[in-house]
Structure 1
């Protein structure tokens, strides 16, 4: 696999950092999730595929020293905490990167490690708001809305951070040096929106929110309800694709307004909605599948894995607990990802195993355990 042999320490955190670790693990990195004690921590990471768990109590006197020693043999550290948290523990980049000059210290935060909001709490919706992107999301005459927590947490945060780690690993091949990555979810989300910024002067966004080509303003870039209560997605932007849409709907283009007649869009939406509601989703798929009308079913999580296209590509996988999740992407021809099919790790399940790999002796492990610096969680004991 592409990242075979890369050692990653992921400090347990919320959604964005676990996704970063998941991406690295899926593509071959040896990811160890550093959890707090299973006595006090609650397992919140649902993205633990392919990871192992080591439980270290950083509030115990020897806790920070244990993590510091682990970092001396790691390639990557993923820090999900607010600025200053690890510095207070004596685990800031100045110390850890001095111990291990090859360490890539990835810091994933909402607002970044500098600036007015740096130490302020926030969530996806706040980072999305400060990035400017939230102002573009929403329908006409409605408040802006956040599309779940995908954009800032996962795309602008977890994925951007993973990309930064991989680039830093690549650069280290020539320099032999690690570096600190300041991955801000605000800036990551803003960067994702580069197209929005660069396309402002070509007429795509010159109308109020919800009245533009790609933000639910156009009748040919919209979702419509079908007779069985499901939905169809329409994205027939180009004239030749729009013509196929009109044909599939049974309409005569000669009797319709021009595709780009903005003033007629609201009425066209009503017309399209009245037509789509007369057939089921499956019936519309029979009409539009294998055409270039850019019409597809809006699949739910219950049916997405069994859809013929996804099934043929093997786009979703099932682990040994019968849980379905997306296959790692993109697909490599020579060093493909080989995701684990095992359940996610219990907190502290691999504590002793990982410490031995990182050079701790059995005597040292026993001492740390007796001092409650580390915890081991034997799954068999919980059965």
Structure 2
């Protein structure tokens, strides 16, 4: 879909490389400027899945000659991705003004936690701190327990990388129509708060409250996970009454008067305890068999590897086993052939000679 689009990605961590991976998955030519002489960050492999399908050149952006090479590459690009704290790219001589002077149509994508301005712009942070201050972590666990959200998904990826990709694509469309580039200020704090707007819509009619355990999707016995007899978990979220009725029927509770008032918050804690006892009587596999083929809106809680072995994955190949480990296929999907194999992950600087030759051919 993005054939002919070129993205220059300055090596970073987390959401920036994830955004670059998404754009590469969609067909863009993504060139990563890896640090010359650098190595992978602690805990990261030398060839991370996030670099799949990209090309790599190793540059020292503090060296004048390599900085000139970076500018020459940026001059050929539709967009740039950088994830430094505010002011770092300017100090390197690669800020928006300098880059736009070379490439007026460039979409300059900036990925930060707190944004380019504001009282926290210069402060360090990570996924949980961003989503905590943005209001998204508060409802992440049952009442009385410290809030915990799945690592990186809500903030780094949801509020960060995905909003950066949307901003870059919107900027490219505008640049092609007007010839003018832009700066995309993608702050994880902003994007995470923006994702709350569905819940804030529920708040308009009283379906979302600040008190934990009292909102439509936060507290009901029909919207949570339960432990099974084999110490695994089953997720339940049968919001609509017709699905709730199927759920109760599968459990043999359709005629139990206690469960009749689906939307009564006062009954939710008691009914949750009752269901805890019910689900603890059978294994996860046994409960899957009970709900299989129904619209009860019940599913097992699986690890990524368990998910890759589920029949759903056999049909869609959402999870793929490759030489460098288990990874998820690109999303969304488009009409046409659906077969996909993981593209290679470059070594640091692997394509340097070829990229420099391309620049020389273009006269950059």
Which category of TM-score, normalised to the shorter sequence, fits these structures?
Answer: over 0.9
1:271-282 matched pairs, under 5 angstroms: 271-282=274-285
Question: 2: distance between equivalents of 1:111 and 1:346?
Answer: 31
Alignment-derived partner of residue 160 in structure 1? 163
Alignment-derived partner of residue 51 in structure 2? 48
Please state how far the C-alpha of 1:213 moved relative to its aligned partner.
2.6
Please state how far the C-alpha of 1:173 moved relative to its aligned partner.
2.4
Structure having greater relative contact order (Cα 8 Å, sep ≥ 6): 1
Distance 1:337-1:151 versus aligned 2 partners, 3 A rule? farther
Question: 2: distance between equivalents of 1:337 and 1:65?
Answer: 41
Distance 1:285-1:246 versus aligned 2 partners, 3 A rule? same
Alignment-derived partner of residue 32 in structure 1? 31
Distance 1:261-1:253 versus aligned 2 partners, 3 A rule? farther
Quick check: 90-99 or 196-205, which moved more? 196-205
Q: After superposition, what is the alpha-carbon deviation per residue over 1:122-152, rounded to whole angstroms, capped at 9, x for unaligned?
A: 1111211221222333321233334312111
Check conservation: 1:113, 1:182, Cα contact below 8 A. yes
Please state how far the C-alpha of 1:207 moved relative to its aligned partner.
5.9
Identify which of 224, 248, 251 aligns with 2:250.
248
Check conservation: 1:219, 1:265, Cα contact below 8 A. yes
Question: 2: distance between equivalents of 1:312 and 1:205?
Answer: 36
Please state how far the C-alpha of 1:243 moved relative to its aligned partner.
1.1
With the length of structure 1 as denominator, give the TM-score of the two structures: 0.88
Alignment-derived partner of residue 108 in structure 2? 105
Q: After superposition, what is the alpha-carbon deviation per residue over 1:147-178, rounded to whole angstroms, capped at 9, x for unaligned?
A: 31211111111111011111111222211222
Please state how far the C-alpha of 1:26 moved relative to its aligned partner.
0.2
What stretches of structure 1 of length at least 5 have no aligned partner? 365-383
1:248-327 matched pairs, under 5 angstroms: 248-257=250-259, 258-319=261-322, 321=323, 323-327=325-329
Alignment-derived partner of residue 220 in structure 1? 222
Check conservation: 2:105, 2:180, Cα contact below 8 A. yes
Quick check: 337-346 or 22-31, which moved more? 337-346
Q: How many residues align?
A: 358
Check conservation: 1:27, 1:337, Cα contact below 8 A. no
Question: 1: distance between equivalents of 2:287 and 2:355?
Answer: 54
Check conservation: 1:49, 1:340, Cα contact below 8 A. no
Please state how far the C-alpha of 1:265 moved relative to its aligned partner.
1.5
Distance 1:304-1:51 versus aligned 2 partners, 3 A rule? same
3-state SS of paired residue (2:64): coil
Check conservation: 1:137, 1:209, Cα contact below 8 A. no
Q: After superposition, what is the alpha-carbon deviation per residue over 1:178-215, rounded to whole angstroms, capped at 9, x for unaligned?
A: 21111111111111111122221212223611333312
Check conservation: 2:83, 2:112, Cα contact below 8 A. yes
3-state SS of paired residue (1:182): strand
What stretches of structure 2 of length at least 5 have no aligned partner? none
Alignment-derived partner of residue 140 in structure 2? 137
Please state how far the C-alpha of 1:82 moved relative to its aligned partner.
0.8
Identify which of 233, 238, 241 aligns with 2:240.
238
3-state SS of paired residue (2:229): coil
Check conservation: 2:113, 2:187, Cα contact below 8 A. yes
RMSD: 2.1
Check conservation: 2:200, 2:208, Cα contact below 8 A. no
Q: After superposition, what is the alpha-carbon deviation per residue over 1:201-260, rounded to whole angstroms, capped at 9, x for unaligned?
A: 212223611333312x11111111112222111111111111111111122434324222
With the length of structure 2 as denominator, give the TM-score of the two structures: 0.92
Pairing 1:19–2:9 present:
no
Quick check: 115-124 or 5-14, which moved more? 115-124
